[in-house]
Amino acid sequence: MMVIVVLISASLLVAIGFLAAFLWAVKSGQYDDKYTPAVRILFDDKKKNNETEKDINSEEKK
């Protein structure tokens, strides 16, 4: 019987910890940006494109 009390206490402690972490994330603004994730896939990554162009230009010179 004592084991059940210990397990329930431990699970409540973990649940309260996760709730506290979630509330801290909400208060610190982790979930404020609702526009960018939806359109992020539409933007090209310029760094990758520039590296690819450099690779193509270096191969053409050879």
Global pTM value: 0.52
Give me the amino acid identity at 53: E
Q: Show the tokens assigned to 24.
A: 């801290």
Evaluate whether 10 touches 4 at the Cβ level (below 8 Å): no
From the CB of residue 3, how many other CB atoms can be counted at a distance below 10 Å?
7
What is residue 34's predicted lDDT score, i.e. its pLDDT?
73
Residue 25 dihedral angles phi and psi, to the nearest 5°: -65, -40
What is residue 53's predicted lDDT score, i.e. its pLDDT?
60
pLDDT tens digits along 3-49: 999 999 999 999 999 999 999 999 998 888 777 777 877 877 766 55
What is residue 41's predicted lDDT score, i.e. its pLDDT?
78
